[in-house]
A and B are shown apart, each in its own frame.
Chain A
Amino acid sequence: MIRVTLPQHLRELAHVKSEIVLEVSGTPTQNRVLDALESAYPMLRGTVRDPATMRRRPYIRFFACEEDLSNIDLEALLPAAVANGSEPLRIVGAMAGG
């Protein structure tokens, strides 16, 4: 069980009010969490990662356990606290002004 928080626009798009909980098969990596996210909420496909490259969109950040995980390998294991559900993976819209 992985807890995920989404930025406001994506919460509205997914019709969820607060953090969501995802069942992720196997060891949790960012890719697997995003696969589970897009499977559970198809309307979010393409909004977090580019559908052509499957890479994180430039203005999306992944935070957890007070660390910036945005640039770690997408296949790297997520922190244990995220994997065991005690901390959420935070998907955040980067500060970009405007």
Chain B
Amino acid sequence: MSRVRLLIGTQKGAFIATSDGARRKWEIDGPFFGGWEIYHITGSPADPNRLYASQSSGWFGQLIQRSDDGGESWQPFSNDFSYASEAGTHQWYDGTPHPWEFARVWHLEPSPGDPDTVYAGVEDAALFRTTDGGSSWTELAGLRTHNSGPSWQPGAGGMCVHTIVLDPVDPDRIFVAISAAGVFRTEDGGSTWQPINRGLRSDNLPDGGAEVGHCVHRIAMHPSRPQVLFMQKHWDVMRTDDAGDSWHEVSGNLPSDFGFPIAVHAHEPDTVYVVPITSDSEHYPPEGKLRVYRSRTGGDEWEPLTSGLPQENCYVNVLRDAMAVDGLDPCGIYFGTTGGQVYGSADQGDSWAPILRDLPRVLSVEVQSLP
């Protein structure tokens, strides 16, 4: 029977939960890197025992940890994320030019085919890549030096590359999302980039339909259909059918179209999950009810999934990297909250159960399907 391994990054360390294919009983290991912020911990699709973790701290800066044995042991690898060229400036909160300064790694995206190749999305916004298992990192500087770069501004959480989507068919095509610049796409392996935000509307911009400046929270793709992307924007759930050339809104009947994570079912490319949050002023679920919403129509028509989730007095958030789906059948889905709970569903979201209740604030959740 298959197994699953949950990789959980929190504000005070990482945790690993494992289960058999039934996904009812979980063994918990951790904390790893206790006391450190783990923005992201993830595994290589090419070698499930190869794990990478972004470990950081306001005191001691950034570290990258790597495990070659499924998380039993870890070693720090290179933490040198030097920008490849003169850093230049972006806009600061007050509109003045501000030098690009590395702060932390938000997201690690391992290559589907090579455990030694990993992309790293960092704050201040830039994309790095290692091809030697984390021993060295090289910036793909064409993103940061895009001619719109000097106009990018940080969101409240910083100015970061937080989402990296690798096209499973075309290795030269990569999508990234930047808060608060929007989505960018490369067709040449990262040398040149273009903003792909046509169709987005953001009321917090002077020109709501601007080419850049949108606070995109997360994008997701089903590997069988790389032309189709789903987006949870600051407000609005969006969809593109042409790899980002144009977007249209699919918020439909959601109680709120503000939120952070978005995920696509492992086996149904038109089944999508979001977690609506009341507003950008109130980062908690509407009516104190924690509800995952599922669309089985590729958006527009959404149904609340509530069985096993708290339906009163719940005021947690689910952050952008804190939801994941496994590859088992039926598909499992998992998310972690800012209140330290990790919930799992082994039946595509129809019912939920807590896996962990009292962790630190959960920053990321990934899941590996193991033989």
Q: Which residue numbers of A lie inside 8 Å of B, CB to CB?
A: 7-10, 13, 43, 45-48, 50-52, 57, 59-60, 93-94, 96, 98
Contact = CB atoms under 8 A, between A and B. Distances in A.
Given A9-B57, A45-B80, A48-B60, 17 more contacts: A10-B60, A13-B63, A13-B76, A43-B63, A45-B79, A46-B61, A47-B60, A47-B63, A51-B82, A52-B82, A52-B102, A57-B59, A57-B60, A57-B61, A59-B58, A60-B59, A96-B58
Contacts of B76: 13, 43
A9 B59 contact: yes
A59 B58 CA distance: 7
B112 interface: no
A46 B79 CA distance: 7
B273 to A, nearest CB: 32
Interface in B36-57: 36, 57
Contacts of A98: 58
Nearest to A47: B60
Interface in B118-147: none
A55 to B, nearest CB: 12
B59 A46 contact: no
A97 B57 CA distance: 13
A26 to B, nearest CB: 26
Contacts of A13: 63, 76
A14 B58 CA distance: 18
B168 interface: no
A70 to B, nearest CB: 13
Contact of B61 (A43, A47, A94, A96): A47
B240 interface: no
Contact of B36 (A9, A51, A93, A96): A9
Contacts, number: 42
B80 A46 contact: yes
A93 B61 CA distance: 12
B368 interface: no
A87 B86 CA distance: 42
Nearest to A92: B59
A51 B80 contact: yes
B35 interface: yes
A55 B36 CA distance: 22
B367 to A, nearest CB: 28
A94 B57 CA distance: 12
Contacts of B79: 45-46, 51
A9 B60 contact: yes
A73 B79 CA distance: 26
B88 to A, nearest CB: 14
B345 interface: no
Nearest to A42: B76
B62 interface: yes
A9 B80 contact: no
Contacts of A47: 60-61, 63
A9 B13 CA distance: 12
A13 B77 CA distance: 12
Given A43-B76, A46-B79, A9 B58 contact: no
A50 B59 contact: no
A46 B62 CA distance: 7
Which of B57, B59, B102 lies at the interface centre, i.e. has the most chain A CB atoms within 10 A of its CB? B59
